[in-house]
């Protein structure tokens, strides 16, 4: 799995790139939490639940169904998130779904139950480029954790920064084009 430091990269990139008028700060924060929430399933180890169990690590909490539940929660909380229902639901669904998708790019583990409960299969993408993060603080603060963080910088944070810039530039371009159209309408009206 990518680290908890990296899972919020996708919603942060989307939110910052789309701007505060589309993704208010409260919604952005909720999305960042939704992107990290699936890894609470590591607590299953403490209760003797096996890794490959649907309730185990990378099980139902990493599924699109779980992401949809979090999206539905955002729809219900949209007013408190200072957003429209549509934007809140879609943004939080994307944030939560990104967790499982990023985990499917990692070099370790038993795959992700992305389509649970429809299909219990654990999946990976054909290319696994993100070094898996070690589970446990003692291992995380060692060479394996450092290697995982370097991998995440290349494969997640770098593309996320690029996405922020592209979205920001496209928003700026749309604003310039809209201003030009408004100016043209104003001239024609005179």
Average pLDDT over residues 145-166: 92
pLDDT single digits (tens) 3-26: 888 999 999 999 999 999 999 999
- Exposed, middle or buried, 118 (CB in 10 Å: 0-12/13-18/19+)? exposed
Radius of gyration of the CA atoms of the chain, in A = 19
- Please give the mean pLDDT across all residues of the chain: 90
pLDDT of residue 184: 64
pLDDT of residue 98: 97
Residue 163 CA to its chain's centroid (Å): 13
Predicted TM-score (pTM) of the model is 0.85
pLDDT single digits (tens) 112-138: 999 999 998 999 999 999 999 887 777
Say whether pLDDT at 187 is over 90: no
Q: Return the percentage of the chain with pLDDT > 70, whole number.
A: 91
Listed in sequence order, the DSSP H helices in the chain are 9-18, 25-36, 64-76, 85-103, 137-140, 143-152, 158-189
The band of 185, judged by pLDDT with boundaries at 50, 70 and 90, is low
Q: Which residues contact 79 (CB under 8 A, 6 or more apart)?
A: none
pLDDT single digits (tens) 170-181: 887 766 666 666
Say whether pLDDT at 70 is over 60: yes
pLDDT single digits (tens) 47-63: 888 888 888 889 999 99
pLDDT of residue 160: 94
């Amino acid at each position: 799995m990518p680290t908890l430091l990296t899972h919020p990269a996708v919603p942060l990139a989307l939110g910052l790139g789309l701007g505060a008028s589309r993704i208010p700060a409260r919604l952005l924060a909720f999305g960042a939490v939704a992107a990290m929430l699936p890894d609470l399933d590591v607590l299953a180890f403490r209760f003797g639940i096996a890794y490959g169990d649907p309730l185990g690590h990378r099980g139902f909490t990493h599924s699109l169904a779980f992401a949809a539940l979090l999206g539905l929660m955002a729809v219900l909380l949209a007013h408190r998130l200072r957003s429209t229902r549509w934007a809140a639901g879609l943004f939080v669904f994307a944030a939560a779904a990104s967790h499982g998708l990023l985990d499917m790019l990692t070099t370790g583990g038993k795959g992700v139950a992305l389509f649970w409960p429809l299909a219990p299969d654990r999946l990976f993408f054909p290319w696994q480029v993100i070094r898996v993060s070690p589970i446990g603080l003692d291992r995380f603060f060692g060479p394996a954790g450092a290697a995982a963080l370097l991998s995440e910088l290349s494969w997640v944070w770098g593309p996320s920064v690029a996405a922020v810039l592209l979205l920001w530039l496209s928003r700026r371009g749309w604003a310039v084009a809209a201003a030009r159209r408004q100016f043209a309408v104003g001239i024609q009206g005179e």
